Structure formats: C-alpha cells, structure tokens
Structure 1
Amino acid sequence: MLNRIILIGRLTADPELRYTSSGTAVASFTLAIDRPRVNQMGERETDFINIVVWQKLGELCAQYLRKGRLAAVEGRLQIRSYENKEGQRVRVAEVVADNVRFLDRGDNSGSFEGSGFGAAGGGTGNSGFGGSSGGRGRSNNPGNDDPFIDDGRPIDISDDDLPF
C-alpha cells in the first residue's frame, strides 16, 4: 500500500501552532494550489489543502512560514471524522506532513530558498534548514560554496562533457 502526497503551493495564512494536553506541538495551515488547466470561463481554479505538521517540524513551520510563502509539503493523506456542535458527522481530508521545504525567501526571515525541514527536524544537506542556498548567493561558510552558483561569468563546458 502507498499513501504519499507531494504538494507545492502558497500559504493562505500564517500557520497556527497549538500544543496537545501532553505537550506535543501541532501546526496547521492551508496551501493554495492552482489547478493546471483553466475552467470553461477561462479562469484557473484553486484547491485549498489543509496541512498538519507535528512535533518539532510543526514548531519550525510556525516559526519560519508566513502567509503567501511558497512551500513544498510531502506527507500522507488522512481522512478523519468528528461530530460538530450541531451533532452532525463531519469528514475532513488533510495532509499530515513528514517533510516541509521553504521554496522562496521570506521577508527578513533570514532563511534561504530551498531550505526545509524533514521529520527529524533539521540535519545537513538538502534535508536541513539552510542546506541549499537555491542559487541566491554564496554561503558564509567557505567550505560549503556551491560551484554552480551564477556569478556572472560564462560557463565553459566542452560538448564531450554534456550527457546529451
């Protein structure tokens, strides 16, 4: 069986961070995702997908994500039901995120494009916060300079070195 979802969209509002009675952090937010085709009236329709992020990853999302930010979410679809105040049974579909990547630079957030958090909450390389500069500039750490950053100079590559 397989239940994996990958979504890329913009947050419709700042994440809401709460804590369970046992102290576990849970953040929730909604991603707006445009459909690839236009409708009969020539307008592009948008889906609004609820996202739930648990523990440290949820705290980090609440800290760094804001309304309008572009984010990629990887997780699983969960369908749950509950009884509302009127006594009616309500079914809710939501994505429980295992991995969240921040795909654009937030205003004054100090984060890098392409940075993200995995279920373990950080780490190195592409799965950790700041693991990729996304081509926006050189890292302050000279040991992590990206040789593929566009520094304005032409790239001299022989046709023999190209894989196609």
Structure 2
Amino acid sequence: MTYNTFETTLVGILGRDPEARYTGDGKLVCNMSVAVHRGKDKTVWVQVEAWEKLGEACVNNLRKGSKILAKGTPRADAYVNKEGDPKASLIITAREIEFLSNFGGDKEEEGVLEGPGTEDIPY
C-alpha cells in the first residue's frame, strides 16, 4: 500500500491541448498547463503531468478549455528564464484526474481516472 504524505487537489481549465511524449524507456507522459483561479483577479498556472494509461486518457479526451480536477503529488522546479531571471514552476504528478468537461465543452462528464502509484513513476 502506498501512503502519500504530501498531496494536493486542484480544479482548473486547460490552457492548451495536452501534449504527449515518450520517455527513453517507452513510458507515455502527458503534460498539461492548467489555469487555477484564485479569487477574482488572480490566476495561477500549474503544470500537471499524467503517466501511462492516465496520460493516454487525457490526450484522447481533453482539449484546450477542458475543466479537470486533478489529485497528485506536487513539486517545484526552479529554473532561469531567457532573460536570466530566476523562476519556479509548480508541477503536479497526477494519480487521479476527473474530467469535469470534455473537449472544452459545457457537458458534464462522469468518472474518475486513476494513474499508477507513485512508486511506478520514474523521477
């Protein structure tokens, strides 16, 4: 049994279509840029990654404008941008994603998809 001691849940809207790629050992990872609204005038962009079957379902069923609920383990990645300024991004490795709307539409979708346990995700 896997116990996650640090997990987060977010609800947001995809800012672009999900992007899929394969790792060197052939595992699919889907990357999504998700806008999470905090208050009236504040939007936080969070990167959500979904692995293997969960990622495949996201690529096949989500598009820019789709609303999702994602649960997973957060991490922060620090980097330096092109201008030389230090920046950081928040990345959620999803273990569960619920499609709240499909293909950016208003239709409510049912169901929760679960991904691999954290022990199966190559960091």
Question: Shorter-chain TM-score: what band?
Answer: 0.7 to 0.9
**Displacement of 1:17:** 0.2
1:78 aligns with 2:81: no
Aligned-pair RMSD on alpha carbons?
2.9
Counterpart residue identity of residue 37, structure 2: D
Normalising by structure 2, report the TM-score: 0.75
Aligned with 2:20 (options 17, 21, 25): 17
1:49 equivalent among 39, 43, 46: 46
Matches of 2:88 and 2:58, distance apart in 1: 25
Deviation at 1:79? 2.6
Decide whether the 8 Å contact of 2:78 with 2:89 is kept in 1: yes
Greater shift after overlay, 111-120 or 93-102? 111-120
Question: Post-superposition shift, 1:95?
Answer: 0.5
What is the CA–CA distance in structure 1 between the aligned matches of 2:86 and 2:104, rounded to whole Å?
A: 41
Q: How many corresponding residue pairs?
A: 112
CA distance in 1 between partners of 2:34 and 2:80 (Å)? 25
Task: Tell me which structure has the larger Cα radius of gyration.
Answer: 1
The residue that corresponds to 2:115 in the other structure is 119
**2:94 is the counterpart of 1:97:** yes
Instruction: Report % sequence identity.
Output: 30
For residues 113-152 of structure 1, the aligned pairs below 5 Å read 113-119=109-115
Cα pair 2:77 2:88 within 8 Å, conserved: yes
1:71, distance to aligned residue in structure 2 (A): 0.5
Cα distance, 1:90 vs structure 2: 6.5
The one-letter amino acid of 1:3's match is F
| AA in 1 matched with 2:103 | G
What displacement does 1:31 show?
0.9
Structure 2 gaps of 5+ residues are 117-123
Give the drift of 1:85. 8.8
| Deviation >2 Å, runs of 4+ | 79-93, 105-108
What's the TM-score once normalised by structure 1's chain length?
0.58
Q: Return the match for 1:34 from 29, 32, 37.
A: 37
